[in-house]
């Protein structure tokens, strides 16, 4: 088989064929986000082909420039079958953002989202499509938790956290469905057109976000499917995903007032308090420093730890390395120093007007945190 690159180059040198006759958009687009899924992609296409015989469909892989060359495999398949399309996103990462971008690229009447790792049962697509065609529903969820569905492909630990996340989402976001964490669903395109401007592109939980943004007007159905174990490659769900999810809950619970990233920034700040106390104790007990010197050293250590945690988690899509990281660290110190001054200023001023210690202290901290977050986002990890 010729390499993907030679095929692409060959395509460039052949003269344009006759322009094709007008062709209407397919009825169904299946959006498949991918990151390092090259071994799974051909199988997904094969299975969809089989499952959707007789349906006018297309599949759009949205790949975040996977190092394993997933995009090249998609191009190769697309060269042979025009129903296979690919979007290669460069310099961006994120499941939700990839799904949104793929869905927005569709002209179809119905749009599905499905994972590339064959954990979702493509045969459920036909049932979903029929439900939407019947006109009684706007969105159909493939659920592991309605009767006849199963989560066999999940480890006990993953099953427990998936259940817990589902519970939290139902409670906080007011979404009355059994599997709001599902990554497998199909919707009428109007649902997307209406909600797209309000969706968070960060994070994993695209369906929970869609449901809460759409509100109670959408008519939702759930159908069971068996969640299969992953065949090739590895899962990308990690600590960052959990952090993002907490952020999404906070963002949605406060009507988007609290941005997802800010919650991550605050959680990192909370770990900074622990680091600070540990460093303070060490500086006093082990190094035998005076309190003032020990406190200053502990502050520096905590700021440094906050910087690197934020660099690794909160701003991982804009992570700084090498010299840029050192420059960023210096800027972060400066921002936090001013943040501390404004924190103390606000708290002292409030306390002199209204001597409620906790209110003054809390307000100062909020002002400091918002300042640190806003300036860090604008200056240290700017896009």
Q: Is 339 in the site for ligand GDD (CB under 6 A)?
A: no
In the complex, minimum distance from the CB of residue 49 to ligand GDD, in angstroms, rounded to a whole number: 18
Which entry of ligand GDD, Mn ion, none binds 64, CB below 5 to 8 A by partner kind? ligand GDD
Bin 255: left if φ > 0, else alpha if -120 < ψ < 50, else beta.
left
Residue 117 binds to Mn ion (criterion: CB under 5 A): yes
Q: How many residues in the shown chain lie near Mn ion by CB under 5 A?
A: 2
Residue nearest to ligand GDD (CB): 183
Which one of residues 64, 121, 222, 244 is an interface residue with ligand GDD (CB under 6 A)? Answer: 64
What span, in angstroms and rounded, lies between the C-alpha atoms of 200 and 5?
Answer: 34
Closest approach, Cβ 164 to ligand GDD, in A, equals 11
Determine which residue in the list 34, 70, 71, 119 makes contact with Mn ion, applying CB under 5 A. 119
Q: Least separation, in Å, of the C-beta of 125 and Mn ion? A: 17
Q: 79-108: which residues touch ligand GDD (CB under 6 A)?
A: 93-95, 98
Q: Does 40 bind Mn ion (CB under 5 A)?
A: no
CB of 228 to ligand GDD, least distance (A): 10
- With CB under 5 to 8 Å by kind, the binding choice for 29 among Mn ion, ligand GDD, none is none
Query: Pairing mode, if any, of strands 110-113 and 28-34?
Result: parallel
| Residues 84, 78: Cα–Cα separation, whole Å | 5
Contact partners, residue 129, CB within 8 Å, separation at least 6: 27, 28, 55, 110, 186
Residue numbers 161-220 binding ligand GDD by CB under 6 A: 162, 181, 183, 204
Restricting to residues 237-296, which ones interact with ligand GDD according to CB under 6 A? 237
- CB neighbour list of residue 331: distance below 8 Å, 6 or more residues apart: 379, 380
Planar angle of CA 41, 47, 52, nearest 5 degrees: 125
Q: How many other CB atoms sit within 10 Å of the CB of residue 375?
A: 17
Query: What is the distance, to the nearest Å, from the Cα of residue 122 to the centroid of all Cα atoms in its chain?
Result: 23
Of the ranges 47-55, 111-119, 266-274, 303-311, which one interacts with ligand GDD (CB under 6 A)?
111-119
Q: How far apart are the first and last CA of the chain?
A: 40
Q: Output the smallest distance, CB 189 to ligand GDD, in A.
A: 20
Backbone angles phi, psi at 17, to 5 degrees: -75, 175
Residue 236 interaction partner, one of ligand GDD, Mn ion, none, beta carbon < 5-8 Å per kind: ligand GDD
Nearest distance from C-beta of residue 116 to ligand GDD, angstroms: 3
Q: Which of 62, 211, 220, 279 binds ligand GDD (CB under 6 A)?
A: 62
Q: Which one of residues 26, 33, 247, 364 is an interface residue with ligand GDD (CB under 6 A)?
A: 33
Q: C-beta of 70: minimal distance to ligand GDD in Å? A: 8
The reply to whether 225 sits near ligand GDD by the rule CB under 6 A is no
CB of residue 239 to ligand GDD, shortest distance in Å = 13
Determine, following the binding rule CB under 6 A, whether residue 43 of this chain makes contact with ligand GDD.
no
Q: Which residue in the set 74, 77, 116, 187 belongs to the binding site for ligand GDD (CB under 6 A)?
A: 116
Q: Which of 30, 31, 37, 83 binds ligand GDD (CB under 6 A)?
A: 37
> What is the dihedral angle through the alpha carbons of 180, 186, 188, 193, rounded to the nearest 10 degrees?
60
As measured in angstroms, the least distance from the Cβ of 63 to ligand GDD is 6
DSSP H helices in 30-69: 41-51
**Which residues make beta-bridge pairs with 227?**
none
CB crowding 346-358: b at 16 or more within 10 Å, else e: bbeebbeeeeeee
Number of Cβ within a 10 Å radius of residue 198: 13
- Asked if residue 103 lies in contact with residue 112, where contact means CB atoms within 8 angstroms, the answer is no
- 10 Å CB burial of residue 258 (0-12, 13-18, 19+) is middle
Extended beta strands in 101-245, E state: 110-113, 139-143, 185-188, 220-224
CA atoms within 13 A on the CB side of 91: 2
Residue number with CB closer to ligand GDD (157 or 217): 157
Contacts to Mn ion by CB under 5 A:
117, 119
Contacts to ligand GDD by CB under 6 A:
33-35, 37, 62-64, 93-95, 98, 115-117, 119, 162, 181, 183, 204, 235-237
């Amino acid at each position: 088989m010729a390499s993907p690159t030679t095929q692409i180059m060959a395509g460039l040198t052949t003269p344009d064929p006759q322009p094709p006759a007008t062709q209407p958009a397919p009825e169904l687009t299946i959006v498949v986000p991918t990151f390092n899924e090259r071994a799974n992609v051909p199988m997904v296409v094969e299975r969809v082909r089989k499952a959707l015989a007789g349906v006018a469909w297309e599949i759009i892989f949205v790949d975040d420039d996977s190092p394993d060359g997933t995009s090249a495999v998609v191009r190769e398949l697309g060269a042979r079958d025009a129903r296979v399309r690919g979007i290669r996103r460069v310099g961006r990462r994120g499941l939700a953002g990839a799904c949104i971008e793929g869905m927005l690229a569709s002209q179809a009447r119905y749009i599905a989202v499905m994972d590339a790792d064959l954990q979702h049962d493509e045969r459920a697509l036909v049932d979903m499509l029929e439900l939407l065609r019947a006109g009684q529903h706007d969105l159909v969820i493939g659920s592991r938790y309605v009767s006849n569905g199963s989560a066999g492909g999940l480890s006990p630990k993953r099953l427990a956290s998936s259940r817990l996340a589902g519970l939290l989402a139902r409670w906080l976001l007011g979404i009355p469905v059994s599997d709001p964490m599902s990554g497998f669903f199909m919707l009428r395109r109007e649902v997307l057109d209406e909600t797209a401007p309000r969706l968070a592109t960060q994070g994993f939980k695209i369906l929970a976000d869609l449901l809460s943004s759409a509100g109670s007007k959408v008519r939702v159905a759930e159908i069971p499917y068996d969640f299969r174990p992953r065949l090739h490659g590895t899962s990308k769900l990690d600590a960052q995903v959990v952090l993002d999810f907490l952020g999404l809950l906070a963002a949605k619970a406060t009507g988007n007032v609290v941005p997802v990233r800010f919650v991550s920034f605050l959680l990192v700040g909370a770990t900074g308090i622990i680091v600070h106390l540990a460093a303070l104790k060490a500086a006093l007990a082990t190094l035998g420093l005076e309190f003032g010197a020990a406190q200053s050293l502990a502050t520096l250590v905590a700021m440094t730890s906050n910087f690197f945690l934020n660099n690794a988690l909160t701003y991982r899509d804009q992570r700084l390395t090498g010299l840029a990281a050192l420059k960023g660290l210096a800027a972060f110190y400066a921002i936090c120093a001013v943040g501390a001054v404004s924190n103390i200023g606000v708290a002292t001023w409030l306390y002199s007007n209204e001597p409620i210690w906790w209110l003054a202290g809390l307000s100062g901290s909020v002002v400091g945190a918002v300042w640190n977050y806003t300036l860090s986002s604008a200056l240290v990890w700017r896009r």
